[in-house]
Structures are given as C-alpha cells and as structure tokens.
Amino acid sequence: MRNDTLAFEEEAIRQIAPRPRNLAETGLAQDFLCDLLAKHCYWGGILNQQQLVERTALAWPVLESLLNFMRTSGYIEVLSPNENSMLLRYVLTERGRNLALDAQLKSGYSGHAPVPLALYERVVQAQSIHNNLVTREDMARVFKDVVIRESVLDQLGPAMHSGRPIFVYGPPGTGKTYTGMQLLGLLDDSILIPYALAVGDYVVQFFDPSVHHPLASADKSAQFMLDEGHDPRFVRCRRPSVITGGELTLEMLELAHDATTKQYFAPLQLKANNGIYMIDDLGRQRVESTDLLNRWIVPLEQKQDYLTVGCGTRFPVSFDVVLIFSTNLNPLALADEAFLRRLGYKVRFEVLTAEEYESIWRQVCKKHAIAFDATAFRYVLELYRREDRPLLPCQPRDLLGLVMDQCRYQGLANQVTDERLACAWNSYFVRPVSDPEPLAHGKPDVLHPAPNPLVIDKENRIC
C-alpha cells in the first residue's frame, strides 16, 4: 500500500480505537495495571520513560499517574537520568519486587497492556468482514490468472459477504484449498488486532505472528504522540487467514492455558476473527466429524462464541469469520441433510476437462519459460487416458516440476520430451503392487466427464 492510502486508513482506524488519554479511558483497573508495570520492571530492571511507554503501549500521561501512585506506595524508586538520556528512570523497591512476584503467580503475562473485552467487541463489529461487498468484478480480478469455472465463482462471491459458512467438496487435488485461500485477495483492507485481551482479571494473549501480519504505519512517530494514531494496544494488520487440516482437535478451539507460565492463549477461530478460517480435510481429524461440526452451531447461529477461563468462567466473544469447510469425502457421510442445510453454500469442485488442463499446463510453461510442445502435451493426455486418471489442477505444476528436476540434473535447458514426461509420470504416480503395468486401452474416456458425476467409493471418498 502507498503511504497516502495508509494515512487515510489510519485516520479511519483511529476513529474506531482512539488512543486512551487517561487511566479511565484504558478500561482497566489501576491495581491491574500496577501489577503489569511491576512485572515489566522486575524483568526489565531499570527502565526509563520511553522504554515503559514501548513495553506497555500506554501513553505517558497514563503511565505517569500509575508511577506516581506506585512511588508514593513504596513500590518503585525514581532515578535521575544518566549521561546518555534526559529521561527519568524507574526501579522496583524490595516491596515492589514482592508485588511483581505476587502478580506473576496470578498471571505470567508481561507484554503490552491488554484491551478490555468490551472495546474489542466494538472494534470487531466496526471492521466486520461481512461488511465487505464482493462483486463479480472483484472475483474476476482475484481469479484472473486462475483456471476456475465461472459457476463456482458465482457461488463463492455472494458467500463471502453472506455471513454463512461455505462447504466445498469434490475429489482430492481439484483446487479446493488453493481456491479457499485465494479468496483472501478479495479483502485488501487492514484491521486492528489486539496484542492481548483482558477478561476480568485474566489476560488472553491474542496476537500471533504466524497468523497476523502487521502493516507499516504511515508515520511511526505517531505512536509516541498523544493526539495522533490509534490505540497502540492494537496492531494494524492484514485480515487474517487460518487453515487447519487433519491435526485439528476440539481442544484447539478452546482457550489454551500453560500451567507453568500461567498464561492463556487465544484459540484458532478467535485469531481468525474479521478474516477467514478454513477447516481442510474435514473428516480426517482425530475427532468425529459430527462433534466437530456441532461445535460451530452456536457461533454460526448467534454470531458469538463462548470460551472459558479460570475455574469455569464462561464469556461470550464475537464470531466474525468466513468459515470454510473443505472435504474430499461424501458430505452425507459427515453430516445428515438437516445439518448440511445450516451450512448455507455448498460448492462442488470437479475434475478438469482437457481444455482446462491445457490452460493450466500452458500457464506453468510460461511461468518457467518452457516452450509449449503440443506433441508432448498430447502424449501426457494419452498417459491419463490409458491409466484412467482424472485431470487435476495441481498436476501440471507437479509433473513439469519433475521434468525440470531432470533437466537440472542433466545440466540441460528446460525442455519437455516424451521420455522426460514418462520418467516424471512414473515418479509421480503410484501403481498397486499387484498391478504394476499401466492399465490397458479401452477404459472410459475421463477427459470429458459428465457435468456433475457423484461416485462414492468404499471409503466414502468422492471419485
């Protein structure tokens, strides 16, 4: 993004979460923040004014009132500036160190000051992902270089701002996961992500650098100026996208608690708020698919999730996510028709036609500066026909990648030949041990399948 665009968005964001000017505007109790300051001073040693502002993400007038209280209470001492700075310095007294240790026993969190849950709720609603209108032109822009059927785009587009979940299904390798993550390109604005949430006396760490990707501020000096910028307890990020597969468990959808460090961590769907959460390979998890699907009934219907802290204290939190389920299993083997009706948009992904496969093949050739060889392409189509294999969008990239590996090994320029394709084919596909030879001719033509075949094998997979 350009700096002028960032500056414009920064002003809009500042209206959503203005910088707190005093203790009351933080929404946090004085004792709570004194405990946090004590932990910072305990772990940081002697800290000056600027260091405390950076560590706590609180404006100096807020910190000044807290430090004055802690000084008069005997928790800290004020040291004069050193030769390298004109800033006052602060250090804990013995009483202050005891305060820090007691605070550490209650919560091991010692990062930026958290955001009260009520403020976070207002921010989530103000930047809801469902406020973004998606048009046909938007879909064409994001998928302009992707070989995908228009009928699929016309289902996915309305689903993005509908507030309803999206259920995509079809044979493995048909581009379900890639397409789901490509949808994030429709959302090119920025949002505010809190570093941490305050739920009563508990702190939940929220910001996760593997999910949340910060954007550079239009003016970094604004973070130190009381009258400029948004509340620095939030970090400005791109809209998040989270994807989980077979590793997903129900425990991962609840608050995680580390008993050793006494810290809480936000679950996946909370980190994905105002963004996209995709559950891939549905039915392959270590939990029954019905249990996993039932977990989403309340969030989807009420637009609120319920989480638990402490000894069973439950609290509601906004659920503002484009939820995508993806599977290559038979949908009716995962849930009954009554439940599937709740899922809103069901989108089936098909195997490719020969023409669609050729378009992808040409794209991969162009990307890697490989001359398109019509004879070699006809040869690879013949291999598909002989072995009765479906044409999948992931395969041109994989097969041509194996061809390029051979070329590099031989010290030659990238060129596709029948021999190299045959070698790549044998490396890529696995044949049953009992039938090592390619299938004979005369098999049904899979290059032009029926419009919507739904064939289920013995393991409930879509064929």
pLDDT tens for 360-415 read: 999 999 999 999 999 999 999 999 999 999 999 999 999 999 999 999 999 999 99
Who has greater pLDDT, 217 or 60? 60
Cα of first residue to Cα of last residue in the chain, in angstroms, is 43
Give φ, ψ of 346 to 5 degrees.
-110, 120
Beta strands in 151-232 (DSSP E): 166-169, 190-194, 196-199, 202-205
Report whether pLDDT(66) > 80.
yes
Write down the pLDDT at residue 431: 74
> What is the pTM for the complete model shown?
0.84
The answer, yes or no, to whether residue 450 has pLDDT greater than 60, is no
Q: In degrees to the nearest 10, what's the CA dihedral of 423, 398, 405, 358?
A: 80
Confidence of residue 123 (pLDDT cuts 50, 70, 90): very high
Q: Reply yes or no on whether the pLDDT at 54 is more than 90.
A: yes
Residues near 444 by beta carbon (within 8 Å), at least 6 away in sequence: 388
Nearest to 325 by CA among 308, 344, 305, 312: 344
Residue pair 421/399 in contact by the 8 Å Cβ criterion: yes
What share of the chain has pLDDT > 70, as a percent?
88
Q: What is the pLDDT of residue 220?
A: 47
Mean pLDDT computed over 97-113? 95
- What pLDDT is attached to residue 98? 97
Band of pLDDT at residue 226, cut at 50, 70 and 90: low
Most confident stretch, 5-14, 223-232, 290-299, 333-342: 290-299
pLDDT band at 460 (very low <50, low <70, confident <90, very high): low
Average pLDDT over residues 127-141: 91
Q: Tokens at residue 460, please?
A: 């409930």
Helix axes 418-428, 374-387, angle to 10 degrees: 40
Distance (Å, rounded) from C-alpha 113 to C-alpha 55?
8
**What's residue 452's pLDDT?**
45
Res 449: pLDDT: 42
Tell the residue number behind the tokens 């045959």, with chain if given.
422
Q: Binning pLDDT at 50, 70 and 90, where does residue 445 land?
A: very low
User: Mean pLDDT in the chain?
Assistant: 88
**Average pLDDT estimate for 67-84:** 92
- d(CA 83, CA 86) in angstroms, rounded, equals 8
Kindly report, residue by residue over 168-223, the tens digit of the pLDDT.
999 999 999 999 888 888 887 889 999 999 999 999 999 999 999 998 764 444 44
What number is the average pLDDT over the span 33-37?
97
Give the per-residue pLDDT at 1. 46
Query: What confidence score (pLDDT) does residue 451 get?
Result: 44
Look up residue 142 and give its two tokens: 């994001």
Q: How confident is the model at residue 163 (pLDDT cuts 50, 70, 90)?
A: confident
Query: Which pLDDT score is estimated for 463?
Result: 52
Could you give the percent of the chain with pLDDT greater than 90?
Answer: 72
pLDDT at 9: 66
